[in-house]
Chain A
Amino acid sequence: MAAVEFRNVSKRFADGTEAVRNLNLAIHDGELVALVGPSGCGKSTVLRLLAGLEEPSAGEILLDGKVVNRIGPRQRNIAMVFQNYALYPHMTVRDNLAFPLRMRRTPRKIVARKIADIAGILNLRELLDRRPGQLSGGQKQRVAMGRALVRNPSVFLLDEPLSNLDAKLRAQIRADISSLQKRLARTTLYVTHDQVEAMTLGDRIAVMERGELHQVGTPAELYRRPRSIFVARFIGNPGMNIFPASVLRDKDGTWRLRTGHWDIPLPPEKLPRGGSPEALQSIRAGLRPESFGPTPGDGTVPCAVRATATEFLGHETLVYFHIPGAQGSTPLAARLPGHMTLPEPAAELHIHPSALYLFGGDGILLR
């Protein structure tokens, strides 16, 4: 067991690319932190820095309070599951599992016992004498997990471990990882570009973009209080709808959000604090797809929409629409319950003004 901390860590490669910029992140003992972001955002580099496969250009990496910048992977007692599993192709599953133990000169009897234990936990008993080439994707994945877990590492790193599996298997192994993590409670850094994996597995989620950490928090915090447009769009599927809007004060003193034909009174808790009137003229507003309703409710405001497409997903329907009279070509998405078709292109959806998010011109959340 171990706690991990990144203190002002940066990584610049020889060709000048800065993969990680001033990263500050703490992973508590026994916690699973999911590191998410689009490809090329630097998340895998963070993992490799922690594994000791890369050295930071600046800052400190701490394992249990000790700086490990100059300590090689061998001495860190960290295990890693690679995206393509990286099983040793010329060894049987048994030898693959035994390799990390043999490297630590573990006595034979203990090696055999540990392999039997891990094979039991991950259901690998029948596969022990096979070679990686004879295994399916899901089986390879389990062997890779087994090889990482067998030597009882203090920190467990997973680099997009499900990205090579089909959707059904992915859901199953995701559940397996979740229950394994609950049972073993290992300090884990889980890198993924899939926000569903991050939301379902992470005790906390860290969102990265272009080498910078945008926000760290529990899945609920990130969903409810995204700090920036980037996080708002990244968390949730589909992500938050973002559209240009202006905030104006009426003659009667009420604040309203206007875009196209929409005119929504802002509740007191959404009133922007400070900010020049000019800045409030061009803000960005956000609404989650699930904030729209097909029928009026308590305190809701009707909003005219011009539907362009609907996708029936069984238990819900996704409706894509434009705001009449508003500029911008990207359609917005609404998630409606059941099998729903909007009767005509011109229809009405209902939102609660408190579901609105307001972002400044720099993309940071105002209210």
Chain B
Amino acid sequence: MRCGNVFARVAAYLILSGMALVFLIPVAMMVSGSLKPDHLVLPEAGRLVKLLPTEPTLENYRDVFARVPFARYMVNSIFITGTIVSCGLLVNSLAGYALSRLHWRGRKAVLTGVIALIILPLEAIAVPLFYEVTLFGWRNTYLVQIVPFIANAFSVYLFYTFFLELPEELEEAARIDGARPIRIFFSIVAPNSQPVFAAVAILTFLTQWGSFLWPLMVTHSESVRPLPLGIALFYTLPPLQWGDIFAFGVMMVLPMLMVFLLFQRWFVQGVASTGMKG
């Protein structure tokens, strides 16, 4: 029995390590390529033995700043994604709470609508949405990249299912203690829902940070464009230098990593102590 357990454990670790390698190797190659002189990047790409750069250089990083307005893209991306994440957390969590706990006419119909919207991809509504924002005169602004993405059906649904599982007695106790619904939400529900807030924050951040199609459709000046459009700019600037693209990629991924590290504690922690019996 014990032997079997050890064997199963070793096998599980081997499989997991193999899968981790599959996912990590491209990232390692990107980092490695960003530190190599440009003429070595393509010839050595795909060769694991050449993973460690023999002549490490920061030339590619200097190039990025020289050839494209990287800082502008970064500021734009941080502002757009940060606003979507923070406003999204507020709006979608309130919507999820209203759907899971408050009693109002039409609640079930709205919930069905929210669930139906989850399967609708952006590509399906991109063109009508484009006409709409044109009508509003929002094109080539931050607004057009933020507002359509704050309310998100999937986030609402995640909040809704999480709040359903929260012990209702906590909210009833707060009602009896004299709190109104909005106060109950901010003082009792939200502080006990860190895992779902972290999950939604990470998921929204990842989706929006890599957003390409919509910004490409609705913006045309570099002053409001985000990072993914910046990286695409290299393909239009001859000569095509893969080292620069990798360096851009590394710098673009770093904030993602930071956000994940920041939230993953809550992401995996769950509700440690609920104050309830059991």
Binding site for B on A (CB under 8 A): 51-53, 72-74, 78-80, 82-90, 99-100, 103-104, 131-134, 137, 140, 147, 151, 164
CA gap between A212 and B138 in the complex, in Å: 64
CA distance A72 to B174 in the complex (A): 12
Q: A74 is contacted by which of B175, B192, B275 (Cβ under 8 Å)?
A: B175
Is the beta-carbon distance between A86 and B278 smaller than 8 angstroms?
no
Q: Are A72 and B175 in contact (CB under 8 A)?
A: yes
Q: Evaluate contact between B170 and A88: CB separation under 8 angstroms.
A: yes
Report whether A87 and B176 are in contact in the complex, using a CB–CB cutoff of 8 Å: no
Task: Give the residue name and chain of the B residue nearest to A133 (CB).
Answer: B273
Which of chain A's residues has its CB closest to B171's CB? A86
**A80 touching B271 by the CB < 8 A rule?**
no
**CB contact under 8 A between A82 and B173, given known A89-B273, A89-B275, A132-B273:** yes
User: Is B132 positioned at the interface, with any CB of A under 8 Å from its CB?
Assistant: no
Residues of B within 8 A of A74 (CB): 175, 178-180
A-B contact pairs, 17 of them (CB 8 A): A73-B178, A74-B179, A79-B177, A80-B173, A84-B276, A85-B276, A86-B169, A86-B170, A86-B172, A86-B276, A88-B170, A90-B191, A104-B178, A131-B275, A132-B273, A147-B177, A151-B178
Query: Does B151 count as interface, using CB distance less than 8 angstroms?
Result: no
Residue pair B273, A164 in contact (C-beta under 8 Å) = no
Q: Which residues of chain B have C-beta atoms less than 8 A from A51's C-beta?
A: 172, 176
Give the distance in Å from the alpha carbon of A305 to the alpha carbon of B62 in the complex: 102
Most chain B CB neighbours (cut-off 10 Å) among A74, A83, A84, A90: A90
B176 touches A89 (CB 8 A): no
Given A53-B172, A86-B169, A89-B271: A99 in contact with B177 (beta carbons within 8 A):
yes
Contact of B176 among A79, A104, A131, A133 (CB under 8 A): A79
What 1/0 mask marks residues of chain B from 161 to 186 whose CB sits below 8 Å from any chain A CB?
00000010110111111111001000
**Which residues of B243-278 have CB atoms within 8 Å of chain A's CB atoms?**
271-278
Question: Would you call B188 an interface residue if the criterion is a C-beta within 8 Å of the partner chain's C-beta atoms?
Answer: yes
Kindly list chain B residues whose C-beta atoms are within 8 Å of the C-beta of A131.
Answer: 273, 275
Task: Say yes or no: B177 contacts A103, CB within 8 Å.
Answer: yes
In whole angstroms, what is the CA distance A84 to B169 when docked? 8
Bound CA span A271–B30, Å: 100
> B173 to A53, Cβ gap below 8 A?
no
Closest Cβ of chain A: how far from B158's Cβ, in Å?
20
| Nearest 6 pairs of A and B residues by beta carbon | A133-B273, A89-B275, A132-B275, A103-B178, A100-B177, A86-B169
Whether the Cβ atoms of B188 and A133 lie closer than 8 Å is no
Are B176 and A84 in contact (CB-based, < 8 A)? Answer: no
Q: B192 near A89 (CB under 8 angstroms)?
A: yes
Q: How far is the CA of A52 from the CA of B177 in the complex (A)?
A: 12
Q: Which residues of B contact A132 (CB under 8 A)?
A: 273, 275
**Residue pair A84, B178 in contact (C-beta under 8 Å):** no
For B177, the closest partner residue in chain A by CB is A100
**Contact-size category for B:** 20 to 34
Given A86-B173, A133-B273, 17 extra CB contacts under 8 A:
A51-B176, A72-B175, A73-B176, A74-B180, A79-B177, A86-B169, A86-B172, A86-B275, A88-B275, A89-B170, A89-B273, A90-B191, A100-B178, A103-B178, A137-B277, A140-B275, A164-B277
Closest Cβ of chain B to A99, distance in Å, is: 5
Q: How far is the CB of A173 from chain B (nearest CB, A)?
A: 14
A residues near B271, Cβ cutoff 8 Å: 89
Task: Determine which residue in A72, A73, A140, A164 has the highest number of CB atoms from chain B within 10 A of its CB, and name it.
Answer: A73
Q: Compute how far the CA of A52 lies from the CA of B192 in the bound complex, rounded to whole angstroms.
A: 24
Does B175 contact A73, Cβ atoms closer than 8 Å? Answer: yes
Picked from A53, A84, A147, the residue with its CB within 8 Å of the CB of B277 is A84
Shortest Cβ distance from residue A96 to the other chain B in the assembled complex, whole angstroms: 8
By a CB distance below 8 angstroms, the chain B residues around A100 are 177-178
Residue of B nearest to A99 (CB): B177
**CB–CB A133/B275 < 8 A:** yes
Q: Is there contact, CB below 8 Å, between B167 and A84?
A: yes
User: Which chain A positions have C-beta within 8 A of B177?
Assistant: 79, 99-100, 103, 147, 151
A140 and B180 alpha carbons, distance in the complex (Å)? 25
The answer, among B176, B192, B274, B275, for a CB contact under 8 Å with A78, is B176
Q: Determine the chain A residues whose CB is within 8 A of the CB of B167 once the complex forms.
A: 84, 86
- Cβ–Cβ < 8 Å partners of B175 in chain A: 52-53, 72-74
CA–CA, A83 and B277, complex, Å: 9
Q: Which of B183-199 contact A (CB under 8 A)?
A: 183, 187-188, 191-192
Residues of chain A lying within 8 A (CB to CB) of residue B169: 82, 84, 86
Q: How far is the CA of A191 from the CA of B201 in the complex (A)?
A: 43
Residues of B within 8 A of A89 (CB): 170, 192, 271, 273-276
Query: Chain B residue with minimal CB distance to A100?
Result: B177
A84 to B278, CA, bound (A): 9
Residues on B with C-beta less than 8 A from A137 are: 277
| Contact of B276 with A88 in the complex, beta carbons under 8 Å | no
CB contacts (< 8 Å) of A72 on chain B: these are 175
- Taking CB atoms, residues of chain A closer than 8 Å to B174 are 88, 99
Residue of B nearest to A48 (CB): B172
- Residue from A52, A99, A137, A164 with most neighbouring chain B CB atoms (10 Å): A99
Is the CB–CB distance between A103 and B173 below 8 Å?
Answer: no
For residue B271, which residue of chain A has the nearest CB?
A89
Nearest A residue to B276 by beta-carbon distance? A84
A151 to B276, CA, bound (A): 22
User: Closest approach, in angstroms, between the C-beta of A107 and any C-beta of chain B?
Assistant: 16
